Amino acid sequence: MDVRHDTTAASVAAENAPAASEAGLKDDPIVSGAAPAGRNLLAHYREFLPVTEQTPLIGRGEGFTPLVRAHALEKRVGCAELWLKLEGCNPTGSFKDRGMVMAVAKALEEGAEAIMCASTGNTSAAAAAYAAAAQIKAVVVVSAGKIALGKLAQALIYGAVVIALDGTFDDALRIVREITARNPITVVNSINPYRLQGQKTAAFECSDVLGDAPDILAIPVGNAGNITSYWMGFREYRRAGRTTHLPRMWGFEAAGAAAIVENRPIENPDTVASALRIGNPANWQRAVRARDESGGLIDTVSDPEILDAYKLLAEGEGVFAEPASAASVAGVLKLAAAGEVKPTDRIVCVLTGHGLKDPQIALDVARDVVPAPNDVREVEKLLDLR
């Protein structure tokens, strides 16, 4: 695999941009190009973000995630290039950090002392982390028993108040909307516009690293914020002359939670991909617009297709992403089999979260451990040696 990072002296020197209050935003010398981890995301893309002189440039190393070329998958799909955007490399292990850093920075700018969100898991981990970094309170509402172990551990250890609701994610979001509407608490779900603003930086990075937009951007769809963000980012970069064309947006919902594809809210969404277990996406109409304006599509992938792609990524590419993330690859494989991929296509699959978020699923689907007696010959025999 190629791993593309910019390691030029200039970009390294631009790491750790000074806080706005200390040095002013004018001082960040680098405004474009790929960058290594460590640079401040809000400073780097500030001309495209709602960053003002008063916005604190907080950060925990989010963004600038690797874009790696997946040669084995590329052959299987039959396209010119297939790249994986490894969003699991963000500080809390998912792309949610991009939006959360922006939302918390703006909340701080506006004097907020508490944030709140509903979450299938990763939003709660990110909210808890950035609230801790900013020294404000976080309250997260999750659907009881429906959150992956790693994500729950994160929210708790970062010090958030975690409420396990006897209801679905959609119930949790409704409750959070009501509470934040009548209390001095900032909602940091993707209905907060700053979340989408921060998340669009991933589209900038893909374009910066590839030198242009890809032909196809494949992405899992849950609450539909991320597909909306990428589309916004690609359009803004195109308008600014940083790219020569726009990608087609290919979004993939889990078959058991496919409100957009089925064109109706799903009352009890069900899928192995917990991050996609959403029955009434908050950014539904904007996702439909991204699909239609880009000449793209939103399709479903089944749980078996998701888990096949999940295993293929790990065994075939050495990339461990959580099941929801594998929906992007599952979708591209499905459409390739249906003849929808051209041999000239350059595709980016967004891998939204890290595989360690949900270790139980890995243990469930992977091969078993091999028990062995404490004896070198026996171990050799088990390995079919000698």
Interface residue list for ligand PLP (CB under 6 A): 94, 96, 122, 190, 220-226, 275-276, 322, 324-325, 352-353
Name residue, tokens 């374009």: 207
**Which tokens go with 365?**
């689907």
Q: Which amino acid is at 169?
A: F
Smallest separation (angstroms) from ligand PLP to the CB of 186: 19
Residue 17 or 233 with smaller CB distance to ligand PLP: 233
What distance in Å separates the CA atoms of residue 161 and residue 152, rounded to the nearest whole number? 11
Smallest separation (angstroms) from ligand PLP to the CB of 249: 12
Smallest separation (angstroms) from ligand PLP to the CB of 95: 7
What distance in Å separates the CA atoms of residue 370 and residue 383, rounded to the nearest whole number? 10
Distances (CA, A) of 302 to 110, 189, 204, 253, 257: 43, 26, 30, 9, 10
Q: Which residue is nearest to ligand PLP (CB)?
A: 353
What distance in Å separates the CA atoms of residue 277 and residue 257, rounded to the nearest whole number? 6
Looking only at the bridges linking them, the beta strands covering 67-69 and 3-4 are antiparallel
What distance in Å separates the CA atoms of residue 89 and residue 103, rounded to the nearest whole number? 20
79: which DSSP letter? -
- Supply the Cα-derived Rg of the chain in whole angstroms: 21
Residue 207 or 283 with smaller CB distance to ligand PLP: 283
Dihedrals phi, psi of 116, to nearest 5 degrees: -150, 145
Nearest residue to 16 via CA among 48, 41, 47, 38: 38
Smallest separation (angstroms) from ligand PLP to the CB of 87: 8
Smallest separation (angstroms) from ligand PLP to the CB of 76: 22
Smallest separation (angstroms) from ligand PLP to the CB of 310: 12
Residue 11 or 94 with smaller CB distance to ligand PLP: 94
Helix, strand counts (H, E) of the chain: 17, 11
Residue 57 or 227 with smaller CB distance to ligand PLP: 227
Residue 42 or 100 with smaller CB distance to ligand PLP: 100
Residue 201 or 325 with smaller CB distance to ligand PLP: 325
Smallest separation (angstroms) from ligand PLP to the CB of 283: 7
Residue 25 or 217 with smaller CB distance to ligand PLP: 217
